[in-house]
Chains A and B, each alone.
Chain A
Amino acid sequence: QQQVKQSPQSLIVQKGGISIINCAYENTAFDYFPWYQQFPGKGPALLIAIRPDVSEKKEGRFTISFNKSAKQFSLHIMDSQPGDSATYFCAASTQTGTYKYIFGTGTRLKVLA
């Protein structure tokens, strides 16, 4: 019940295309859903985050779509660029309990020039 399932494991997209990464969770107590971007040799960095009181959040080319009833959320990268090539992790946490972030297994994105 603590797991966050992420797919796909890897993704190749042409420059200018849309990258879509999906995550699903079971624990309905989760109430904060961030996405992290990680470049090789670096720590993960927060990209965008959403709370379940909204269905969509957009920041620049990055959009989170959230479906509370389906317990799913996804990251959309519009106009994907080679500089977006990185590993993306979804995560979930809760304001109750132990507050730890539960991470998905990651998606390695490669954007072809």
Chain B
Amino acid sequence: GAGVSQSPSNKVTEKGKDVELRCDPISGHTALYWYRQSLGQGLEFLIYFQGNSAPDKSGLPSDRFSAERTGGSVSTLTIQRTQQEDSAVYLCASSVSIVGTEAFFGQGTRLTVV
């Protein structure tokens, strides 16, 4: 497809389990972002990739969170030992370049930790 694709769209997991969230950016987009949106809240920045490198990981809330990007394309956000406070919608976005261009968002993965 032409847009940013995220999978799964919904994920319910038990507290303490690890989860992996996937993002397929728009082809050719070098910049990729992960954001978290809690219920009724704004978008919280998590991490940004330029190519396969992550120059800014400042938003990752704890060392349980990690992300990687391979081949300058697909990115995976991993949350280890999930906690209930991790429940949120995780949004991925990509843009053509890092120079102030439009970021296109996927529909997000709704994560529920029970």
Residue positions of A touching B, CB distance < 8 A: 6, 31-32, 34, 36, 41-46, 49, 51, 89, 93-95, 98-106
Could you tell me if B48 and A99 are in contact, using CB atoms closer than 8 angstroms? Answer: yes
- Rounded to whole angstroms, the CA-CA distance of A32 and B48 in the bound complex is 17
- Rounded to whole angstroms, the CA-CA distance of A94 and B100 in the bound complex is 6
Note all chain A residues with C-beta closer than 8 A to B104: 46
When each residue 39-53 of chain B gets 1 if its CB lies under 8 Å from chain A and 0 otherwise, what string results? 001110100101000
Given contacts A98-B55, A99-B31, contact A43 B4 (CB under 8 A): yes
- Rounded to whole angstroms, the CA-CA distance of A95 and B106 in the bound complex is 23
Given contacts A101-B45, A105-B41, A106-B42, contact A31 B100 (CB under 8 A): yes
When each residue 44-67 of chain B gets 1 if its CB lies under 8 Å from chain A and 0 otherwise, what string results? 010010100001101100000000
Q: A31-B100, A98-B48 are in contact. List 17 more A-B contacts (CB 8 A).
A: A34-B103, A36-B105, A43-B4, A43-B91, A43-B105, A44-B105, A46-B104, A51-B100, A89-B43, A99-B31, A99-B99, A100-B33, A100-B45, A100-B56, A101-B33, A103-B35, A104-B42
